[in-house]
Each structure stands twice: as C-alpha cells, then as structure tokens.
C-alpha cells in the first residue's frame, strides 16, 4: 500500500521536484520482483544488514501477536537536496505516507 500510494502520487511528486526511494532489508532480487509486480518507477535499495534502518532510528523491537522480534518500524522521511531530514514520520500508516508528504511539500 505504501509503495503503491507513492507510485500513484508520482506525477505530483515529480512536479514538486521530489524523488522517491524505498529502502528495505529485502534482497535486490525480491525488490525487483516487488517493483515489477507493483509497477514502481522509483528505486528500491536493499539494506540487508539494517545499517540504514539503524541510522534512521527505524530498526528495533516490534510485537506481533504477542511475540517480540526485531524489524523495521514503517517510517517515511522527507530529505532535502543537501541530505538534511526536513520531516520524519515514524510508524506512519501506509495510506498516510503520500498524503502527509504532499501536505508538507505544498505548504
């Protein structure tokens, strides 16, 4: 849902000079299959050792069905052309990602 919402907002994001990049711990082969299946036009970067996720503070303990495990907490970041984080949305819902980004960009 998150990737699809960003895909669907692609034209408007491009008009605002925004480039979308996805990052996940999935291997490149799985990401390529996912991108093709969902017609994604933006790059997906593989972070199998979780270094990027840890640096952005999104790798940590999660709980599902009473079981605790390590994983990515779904998040989104608006980063400017100088690499500075302008806005961060931690634990954002997949449906809210594109609307929140557009709201921040269109201020």
Q: Are 89 and 96 in contact (CB under 8 A)?
A: yes
Average pLDDT over residues 77-98: 94
Q: How far, CA to CA in Å, does 91 sit from each of 16, 33, 35, 37, 52?
A: 24, 25, 22, 25, 16
Average pLDDT over residues 33-62: 96
User: What tokens does 70 get?
Assistant: 């390590």
**What is the value of pTM for the model shown?**
0.86
Average pLDDT over residues 62-74: 92
**What is the DSSP annotation of 59-74?**
EEEEEETTEEEEEEPP
CATH number of 2-105: 3.40.30.10
Query: Is the pLDDT score of 8 beyond 90?
Result: yes
Q: Are 53 and 25 in contact (CB under 8 A)?
A: yes
Residues near 16 by beta carbon (within 8 Å), at least 6 away in sequence: 102, 105, 106
């Amino acid at each position: 849902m998150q990737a699809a919402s960003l895909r669907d907002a692609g034209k408007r994001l491009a008009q605002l000079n925004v480039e979308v990049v996805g990052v996940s711990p999935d291997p490149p082969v799985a990401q390529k299959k996912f991108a093709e299946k969902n017609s994604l036009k933006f790059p997906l970067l593989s972070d199998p050792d979780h270094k990027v996720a840890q640096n952005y503070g999104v790798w940590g303990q999660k709980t599902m069905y009473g079981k605790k495990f390590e994983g990515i907490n779904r998040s989104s970041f608006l980063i400017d052309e100088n690499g500075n984080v302008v806005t961060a949305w931690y634990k954002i819902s997949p449906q809210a990602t594109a609307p929140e980004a557009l709201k921040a960009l269109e201020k």
